[in-house]
Each structure stands twice: as C-alpha cells, then as structure tokens.
Amino acid sequence: MSDRRVIVQREFVKTGLSFGSALAIVISYTAHKSILWAIIHGFFSWLYVIYFVLTRNG
C-alpha cells in the first residue's frame, strides 16, 4: 500500500510540474510575445504563474 502511494504522489507531482510549465509558457508568450521569455518562464513553472497572478493589472 505504501509503495502505491509513493508512485501516485510522484505521478501527481510530475503532472503538476508539466502543467505548470505549459501554463507559464502560454501566459508568458501571450504577455510578452517572445519565445525566449516563454522558455525562461517555462523553466520557472509555477513560480512564474504565481508571480503573474499577483502582479498583473486588472
């Protein structure tokens, strides 16, 4: 039972990181129209998403 829990948690984290990166890339490209910034923000993943939400106007 414990082994299954670890596997599920790892998959959840991996999926969350992948989704966070994709979301950061889309937000960054939409805001800045720059592929370079989109790649950099995709690397920072959820940190950029949280930053964007906290600092956006509107």
User: pLDDT tens for residues 3-54?
Assistant: 677 666 677 677 777 898 999 999 999 999 999 999 999 999 999 999 999 9
pTM of the prediction? 0.73
Give, in order, the Cα–Cα distances in Å from 17 to each of 9, 42, 56.
12, 10, 22
- Please give the tally of structural domains in the chain: 1
pLDDT at 53: 93
Residue 19's CB is within 10 A of a number of other CB atoms, namely: 13
Mapped onto helix, strand or coil, the DSSP state of residue 56 is coil
- Residue 24, both tokens: 């950061």
Domain that includes residue 14, residue range: 2-55
pLDDT at 31: 93
Give, in order, the Cα–Cα distances in Å from 51 to each of 12, 42, 55.
22, 13, 6
pLDDT at 1: 54
pLDDT at 57: 77
